[in-house]
Amino acid sequence: MDEVDAPTGTEAYCAAPAAPVEPVAGPPYADCVECGRPTEYGAATPGRVLCPVCEWQDAQRSACSG
């Protein structure tokens, strides 16, 4: 059922995803959890932080898993 067709007063099934974290301007950078190389994200970034190479490889793996 589309949002337009949903009865009034009902909530959406899933919450909207959080905004992506933007790269930081300078150090300290977080280390990649896969390979240990520095990432473009700050050390205080929550969650699983990946370097650009590991991020790209992870996107490739998840794109073909359907």
pLDDT exceeds 70 at position 3: no
CA-CA-CA-CA torsion sign (47, 52, 57, 59): positive
pLDDT exceeds 60 at position 37: yes
When pLDDT is cut at 50, 70 and 90, the band that residue 17 belongs to is: low
Question: What is the pTM assigned to this prediction?
Answer: 0.56
- Is residue 51 within 8 Å of 37, Cβ to Cβ? yes
pLDDT of residue 23: 74
pLDDT exceeds 90 at position 20: no
